[in-house]
Structure 1
Amino acid sequence: MDVMMLLAETQSNPMHVCGLMLFEKPKGRPGVVNEIVEAYRAARPTPPFDCVPELSSTHTPRWLPGANYDPRYHVQHIAMPEGARYEDLLYLAGDLHETMLDRGRPLFRVWIIDQVPGGRFAVFAKMHHAIVDGVSAARRVNASLRATRHKGVPKPLFAVDVPVRKPRPPKALVKRLVGLGTNATSQYMALLGSLRKGLWNRIGLATQGSVPFAAHRGPMNEPVANARSVATLSLPLEAMRRVGRHYGATLNDVAMTVIDAGVHRYLAGQNQPFGHRLVAMCPVSLRETDDASGGTKVSAVFVRMGKPDADVAERLVQVTESMKAAKEDVRAMSRETALGYAAGMMAIAGLGSVTHADRVTRPSANLVISNIPGWDRPLYLNGAKLAGVYPVSAIAAGVGLNATVISCNGSMDFGFVGNGASLHDLPTLADHVARAWRDLEQATPRG
């Protein structure tokens, strides 16, 4: 998957992921931001943040360590102008997201942004998807913060020491050899069936379960340009859990439902009503619980969302049922097969984008919705409390809208990024998602 992330990258569709972290400045500490900048610039990157990729036709792709690291290039210190609004920070985040990372340097950059409205500052981190996925990035963020208000700057996310996952005890050689042939055959058939389903859906023969290339074309599937639109939103975590319990749904089902409803309302408000069920591509982490190593270890399911005219309660039931059916397809695969499935889907979508075949066939999905495990306690950076963390992820080929959610100390934080050429004013989309949540909460009996 790491190689696919590099090969699929283009100037208009870069393959990096970003995170916007907001912090509340501690009182009586005017130098808190400068202290963080100095400490970050003094830190040295650890693998894979100290490497550059080498792609060659003569040998297998590899990472070259010891790359030239420039602290002032990789750690930038900027400030919002006087009178700036929060919306200006979102525009800045969109601008920073637009451009590709320089492959001649380590594949990350960090901006520490002072004078954010409300007595806050922000840290905007940009990392190539080939060296982190959402789960590993969140674990690095967690390791770079503290659970107390004490003064001091821990190692930044690009310099934290990642624990090496303990290998599983090896199976007896005879057992491994006996199971190898049977397992390889069954996994090959599972992968072949999933890829065949994707091709059938691409020509309109939709099936149940995970449904790649079954989406109807919408504004989210216009050709991706460089411009990006960014928005954020925070919703109450415990209230979302309560609603989920009432309907027998997961927290992720609730988040997907309000996003689904919000997108339909947003498109209707843009005079582009979408008369079909949206299809969401949902990444599925394949990491072990103690694996914080670099690289991308994800597969994906393709979920048919709620009916266009469904109310939010009906929509939640429909999304929950679709998600359960889609997950069954991935459960039938081994970890290695699931990775191959994701790579195959990415290759098909990427080929369609390069050849422009995606303009006449069905897109792989209408949007990407991802859920990253977060944390349920306060975290601090040099005494400054983390007030919100908003993933600003990559845009997949032919799918110009990404919504990623993460739990953060009692809140569910949403980060939205869209193709700025066709999806304008994503803060309005975030407002529609918030209203959809309020409608769902009001429709749910208490007790």
Structure 2
Amino acid sequence: MKDVQEVNFDGLVGPTHNYSGLAHGNVASMSHVGLVSNPKEGALQGLAKMKSLLDAGFAQGVLPPQQRPDLGALRALGFSGTNAEVLSRAAQEAPQLLRAVCSASSMWTANAGTVTPSADAPDGKVHFTPANLQSSFHRFLEPETTGRVLASIFRDQAHFAHHPALPATPAFSDEGAANHTRLCGAYGEPGVHLFVYGRQAFGGTREPQRYPARQTLEASQAIARQHGLTPAQTVFAQQHPDAIDAGVFHNDVIAVGNGPVLLYHEMAFLDEEATLEALRAKMTTPLIPVRVPSEAISLDDAVSTYLFNSQLLSQPDGSMTLVVPGECQENEAVWRTIQDLLLAGANPIGEVLVKDVKQSMRNGGGPACLRLRVALSEEERQAIGGRVLLDEALYTELTAWVERHYRDRLAPDDLADPQLAEETLTALDELTRLLGIGNVYPFQLGH
């Protein structure tokens, strides 16, 4: 298939972006709990990253934040009365629930779902499955709206197929594309899908002891079946339990792939050699593994800098650009490894771009967390609904939208403010019109 481009759909940082430390096993999230956040700065940092990549020639899309606080969830859990009364009661009786329903975690669209491009699907359509995110309550609130957003944007049934999220049970715990990498030659050529899991629900493998494994083998296998992928197109590999216990809660914190390149830490996979051998056997293009040893970068440094949670993007000449968070430049060992091993190595990585996404990083989300990758042909790009492909005009309008509606300071106690809920509703109502995506939100604030 010709003229296939990878479009990175970044999540807009939401107006309720805050540091509640909700993600057990996410070291950055837990260590910054209680800090005052700056939602406006976070949203502008995300938009600036999108714009810089657009200016560099990469296709860039936008996904909206979800409606928060989720007052519908609080009402379903027994809180009643006016909106102000619901928020006040939750703050007094169950502050942990209030923090959860205010989370802006949908900004990390690598967890939005799993995508199979049309080049790999038997029906020639692009397939989407929203992640059930059942391992944490604040993220479990997302899949229904995520499904509506994806169905609104990728609405043309001649080109796009949508599947339901997997059953929200521990056996089918699914965290989306953060545990899935497609390796290929050109984007339009057939690829091999690397699914990485942390545990088997129905079988005894070694599991982490300190932090939970969020992805099951059974979930990954089910998604492959939904999308019509065959054994010849898939590799299932277990993430190293020691890495999970060090804070590597998703595979995209320890490995990143693009085209034929797999950049990974030596502790990424429980059976490194078997994983590489399986990929080599199934790929039609030779695999280019780029291995970073523990002597160069420790697991702790990998987690604190998010080197592997970088975006790896293809240039027209076949070289690749690595987009890293600023924390990589601030760590001597990591920056030295980037210069000596990655840029000087025998691989296509020829450029490193440093981006400031500190507001996201403090909650445990780097550049790769913020984007969902969708490989699309020209015809498929033309079939996209709404106005979600970034250009200069949309960037200008979104920046102005953020400036109008976002606060520049949000403390945990502010989450009970009913005015924040009204501000968010007003902002998202305007955003749906700006993006042309229709009514994708529950909008339950008027109850």
Q: TM-score range by the shorter chain?
A: under 0.3
TM-score of the superposed pair, with normalisation by structure 1: 0.25
TM-score of the superposed pair, with normalisation by structure 2: 0.25
Greater share of residues in strand:
1
